Structure formats: C-alpha cells, structure tokens
Amino acid sequence: MLHLIGLGLGNEKDITVNALEAIRTKCATIYLENYTSILCCSAEKLEEFYGKKVTVCDRAFVESDGVDGMLTQAEKEDVAFLVVGDCFAATTHSDLVLRAHEKNVKVKAYYNASIMNACAGSGLQLYNFGKTVSLCFFTPTWKPDSFYDSIKMNNLNGGLHTLVLLDIRVKEPTVEALCTGKKIYEPPRFMSVSTAARQMLYIENEVRKEGVYNEDSMVVATARVGQEDERFISCTLKEMCRVNAGGPLHSLILVGTKVHELEENMLKHYRAKPEDFYPEGEEPESQYLEEGVL
C-alpha cells in the first residue's frame, strides 16, 4: 500500500496519530516530498521522531521515474509518501494516486492542516474566500499576469477574499545546468509578501489597469503559519511593499470588498505596527529590483 501522508505546517509533531502509527509499525520505506513546500524541521528530525530513515525527494524524483520505482515498492510493501501541509490541498498529488491505481496499488490518505484552511487564523472567514491563486517570481523578460483574472472573478462573485500562494524555488537548475546537463542548482528562494505586493501592483498599474485592486486595497501577510513564531499582519497593498514578515514561508491574502464586522475587527487586531516595516530603501529585495525585474 502507498500511504499518502500530510505532515501539517509546523514540525515533526504535527503529524496525526494514525499517520505516525502507520509509519512506525507498517511502512518499510519513507519518502519526503521536498520541493513544493518546506517544514520548519529537518529530515533528520523526522527520522529521530519516527525511528525510520527518510528519503528526501526533489522535483526530478516526483516528476520522473523515481515515482515509478516507489510505486513498484508499494506493490510489495507499505510505503509512505510525506507531504508538507495536506496531501490534497495547496499541492495536489492526484496524479500520484492515478498512477498507483494503474498499478493496482492501494492508496490510503492521511489528511492534515494546510495553508488553505490555516489562513483562517487571519480572522478572515473561509466561506468568504474565492479561488486561490499562485504568484511566480518575475524575471526581466517574464511577468505572468494570469492570477489577475481569478482575483477579478473573486471580486465579481460577491467581493470574496483571495489567498495568494507565493513562489518557492528549491533546487532549480541554473542556466549552465540546463545547457550542459550538469547538476548545478540556484540558491533556494522564497517569495516574501513585500515582493508579492510589488508584483501585484505592477500588474495592476502597468499591465492590466482594470482597477480590480489598488494601492489602498487591504491585504494580510501570513508568515510561518503553524509554527511557534507565526505572524499575521494587515495593511494596505502599498504598505505591504515595505513589510518585513521575517523568514519563509509567506502567503498573502487580498481582502475582498465585502467584509464582515468580525473580520474588520480581526484586521484591526493584526494591523501593522511601525516595527513591522523595513526602513525606506533597505528592503532585502532592493538588489533584485535594481536588476530590472520590476
């Protein structure tokens, strides 16, 4: 059997009891999917807690023959595939389930918290959210704006909130690697809420110009949700360009145009304070911006 296990958002102890028992008593091999999100603890910490060796899988493993080898193992023994958050939420692994079924491998899912529901910690009510969107890092030659249409639709459908998932670049091959076939990778990059705010305003002000949102639109930064130092910070989109929310992972919520009174009170509760901002001109993204990306 393939055990598809959501780990939650915090550390090694956020796993469910049922999933932990399956790992400790049933599973011969443990794989950790490690490119769509990150856990705030190392694979070594997981191994210590589980009492089992954990094999870390990158994008190449999941998207290539590595998965076939894992499923072949699962034909003969119990195998665990660990996913940060929930296995079917922000990152879908439906393709993995379908490939397992093609091989007549049974699959058992263990659900857990993900940013898709934990964003409610911001005080914004989940049934007031529309379609979730993803925001990629811009480059000097590529500034995708497809996310804009979904935000526009959310606003048209009753002024709904939009959860914006921010880009994660882990073990991405360099240009040299793509040209030569060598295994050379870029340093890990995790988009911050300040970069996300700049990119969103660029698309509105310079590309689409449809007034779906503006500098005064309210947004909420979510940082390291589920961890000991999680943060929720509310402010305008213009102000968010200077917010220092600390280390990764970040997400951003664009607040809808219709807000419940209780939600309003929570936005005030999380309102940004002076110490939440970078000093003018000292944002760590400055060099990135100077390179012509924005």
Q: How confident is the model at residue 171 (pLDDT cuts 50, 70, 90)?
A: low
Residue range of the domain that includes 245: 116-293
Amino acid at position 228, single letter: E
Using one digit for the tens of pLDDT, what is the confidence trace for 176-214? 555 666 666 677 789 999 999 999 999 999 999 999 999
In this structure, are 215 and 283 located in the same domain? Answer: yes
In this structure, are 102 and 161 located in the same domain? Answer: no
Can you give the CATH number for the domain in which 281 is found? 3.30.950.10
In this structure, are 132 and 95 located in the same domain? Answer: no
Beta bridge partners of residue 33, listed in sequence order = 57
Alpha-carbon torsion (276, 282, 288, 294), positive or negative: positive
- For tokens 């409610």, the residue is 120
Amino acid at position 280, single letter: E
In this structure, are 43 and 163 located in the same domain? Answer: no
Last residue in a domain, options 80, 113, 146: 113
Last residue in a domain, options 113, 141, 166: 113
Can you give the CATH number for the domain in which 31 is found? 3.40.1010.10
- The whole-model pTM stands at 0.90
Last residue in a domain, options 85, 113, 141: 113
Share of the chain above pLDDT 70, in %: 87
In this structure, are 75 and 203 located in the same domain? Answer: no
In this structure, are 125 and 172 located in the same domain? Answer: yes
CA 48 to chain centre: 25
What span, in angstroms and rounded, lies between the C-alpha atoms of 133 and 126? 15
Lowest mean per-residue pLDDT among 77-91, 200-214, 226-240: 77-91
Number of domains in the chain: 2
